Structure 1
Amino acid sequence: MIRAAAVVVPAHDEGASVAACVAAVHRSLALAPLPPHRCHVVVVADGCHDTTAAAARLMDAHVLDVPRVGVGTARAEGVQYAMELCTGVRPGALWLASTDADTLVPPWWISSQLRYAEEGHDAVAGTVEVGDWSLRPEGLAAHFARRFPVTDGHAHVHGANLGVRASAYIDAGGFPGLVSGEDRALVERLTVRGHAVRRPADLPVLTSARRAFRAPGGFGRLLDDLEQGSV
């Protein structure tokens, strides 16, 4: 049984969005079947030069300030910090979730992941939906839906919507220090190591379609490539 949960949010100059992200995470944790003192939010301020760290602290998040290290290392350092916060909870009973600072998770996000964990899954890879397509050309939303359909058992992996049992995370070697693709690399390693990964179609998070994205090979780049017809 899961006894504690922590959500890690890497953030590079996300002062405009991090407060809303953390608020949504707090709402989700509050609805999880866990005592409040065993629920944590860790924001990794990755080389920030704006109000990210201050805004996250005002929202009662644990903030880890690091020099600019990139999203893979930021997630990994955030997870390490989260596990230290949960000292005394065995890895098999600790759930580690990840989202992004420009993303809003639904209230049932953590509760659903924990339900899958209780069913025997070691990781949950959810999907993303764009909350506002207005920053992109008309028709791109429909093109995205056709190009990347979502069904139960889908093949999508997003660091903005990922959860893993700490024991499985440790066994898989954790998030690699990549500038992008660290989420897919972790899930691939989990699969190779024989850990059960649940890929639900009904657990999306809302993310941004912004052009000034942070990870060079992340979701924003995918939308750019889709817009240009290169994928």
Structure 2
Amino acid sequence: MPPHFPDTVIAIPVRNEAERIEACLRAIDAQTDVAPGSLGLVLFLNNCTDGTQAIVEALRPTLSVPMRVTHVEFAEAQAGWARREAMNAAVEWIGPVAAGGTILSTDADSRVPPDWVARNRAALRAGADAVAGRIELDAGEAALLPPSLHERGRLEDAYSAVLTEIEARLDPDPYDPWPCHRTTIGATLAVTRDAYVAVGGMPAIALGEDGAFVAALLRQGFHVRHDPNVVVTVSGRLVGRAPGGVADTIRARCEKPDSLCDARLEAVPRAVFRYLCRRRLRRLHAEGRLAVTRGWARFLKIPESDAARIAALPLPGLAVAEAERVSPRLVYRPLGPFELARHIRFAAMALVPIRALTGLANRRGPAPTQRRVAAKREVPTGP
């Protein structure tokens, strides 16, 4: 029999998930709108001591999706390494079906909806190179968490949504239009095989490998769709398997309710300043003017040596990311949770004129590139 090469492979790192692995695998096996033989599943079991491997093997004959299972013991194991190993195994399995091949990532304590694969594939067909979905906590486990945690989550989600719309309007990405979100989590990621290989794969780091991976894609000019319609259910447990994961975040916020919010949840004026700077830098890069003028660098208080290095970067994503890293004016200053309510009110008011102004600009259409180049200013007064 010839080898089976699916064009889409789901990669899951697994460690001691005896309680949840069956629900995870049953959900994957229930995928709809998937052609027979097109889907494969990779499980990378690392340091499992609770019977997970036996449960997986017992389930294997009952699943319609072909599955490859690796079991390793490695004292230096950590989240990024395990996810990388799982996704690398997916790349190998896709093999000669490289053109159009897709890798999806989720977690062993997650449950994907029946249309998860189909929705990710649809977003990729629409022009994205990668798709980042959203997560929701398991309702039963979430009900056991303190009400204060739910209130904080509600406020953070509300503020994040307003900031995301402001960003999408001031610095629009045609491949990631509003409505969108800014969640980046390994529990729901999809990426083309070519894009995954091009950026060197998933970073093998202990914390934040998912965010670092998506940032690498954006820096290299790949298109990432943050699709609000791709949603995965994750556990609301307080003791997780990977340091710095969802469980650690939930527990830390239970123990320290006043801990700072995510870095991007900064005050509206700072956020607007950041989005306008990004847009300006992208336009200067597209017009070949980063190396011609240094007004942008002086405005952002970037030293000349750094400015020359940034101007020489070949892709706008690389230039923007490096400018944000070195500019003292673009340092993130996240809010505390008790500041969110008033900032939400202010952001909602700020969004009204932003919607009006960006809507007017969209109706008029972009100015011709030749006119923008001819009217360039050597020393800009703002972003």
TM-score (norm 2): 0.56
Deviations 1:87-134 (A, max 9, x none): 2211x3111011111110001100000001111101000011001313
Matched residue, 1:98: 105
1:197 aligns with 2:224: yes
Matched residue, 1:41: 41
The answer to whether the 8 Å contact 1:159/1:183 transfers is yes
Matched residue, 2:133: 126
Equivalent runs, 1:54-65 vs 2, <5 Å: 54-60=54-60, 61-65=67-71
Larger fraction in helix: 2
Residue 156 of structure 1 aligns to a residue in which SS? coil
Moved more, 138-147 or 151-160: 138-147
For residues 200 and 142 of structure 1, the distance between their equivalents in structure 2, rounded to whole angstroms, comes to: 24
Offset, 1:142: 3.0
Offset, 1:58: 2.7
Residue 89 of structure 1 aligns to a residue in which SS? coil
Larger fraction in strand: 1
Offset, 1:56: 2.0
The answer to whether the 8 Å contact 2:12/2:86 transfers is yes
Offset, 1:155: 1.4
For residues 212 and 164 of structure 1, the distance between their equivalents in structure 2, rounded to whole angstroms, comes to: 29
1:22 maps to amino acid = L
Tell which has more relative contact order, 1 or 2 (C-alpha 8 A, sep 6+). 1
For residues 173 and 32 of structure 1, the distance between their equivalents in structure 2, rounded to whole angstroms, comes to: 31
For residues 183 and 57 of structure 1, the distance between their equivalents in structure 2, rounded to whole angstroms, comes to: 28
1:73 aligns with 2:100: no
2:68 maps to amino acid = H
TM-score (norm 1): 0.91
The answer to whether the 8 Å contact 1:175/1:183 transfers is yes
For residues 204 and 141 of structure 1, the distance between their equivalents in structure 2, rounded to whole angstroms, comes to: 18
Deviations 1:137-172 (A, max 9, x none): 123223212213475321110100111111001111
RMSD: 1.6
Matched residue, 1:166: 193
Residue 93 of structure 1 aligns to a residue in which SS? coil
Residue 194 of structure 1 aligns to a residue in which SS? coil
1:26 aligns with 2:29: yes
Matched residue, 1:221: 248
Count the aligned residue pairs. Answer: 225
Q: CA distance change for structure 1 residues 134 and 186 in 2, over 3 Å: closer, same or farther?
A: same
Equivalent runs, 1:150-165 vs 2, <5 Å: 151=161, 152-165=179-192
1:67 maps to amino acid = E
Matched residue, 2:328: none
Structure 2 unaligned residues grouped into runs of 5+ = 1-5, 61-66, 162-178, 261-383
**Percent sequence identity over matched residues?**
30
Matched residue, 1:88: 96
For residues 145 and 46 of structure 1, the distance between their equivalents in structure 2, rounded to whole angstroms, comes to: 35
Residue 82 of structure 1 aligns to a residue in which SS? helix
1:78 maps to amino acid = A
Matched residue, 1:117: 124
For residues 147 and 196 of structure 1, the distance between their equivalents in structure 2, rounded to whole angstroms, comes to: 26
Residue 200 of structure 1 aligns to a residue in which SS? strand
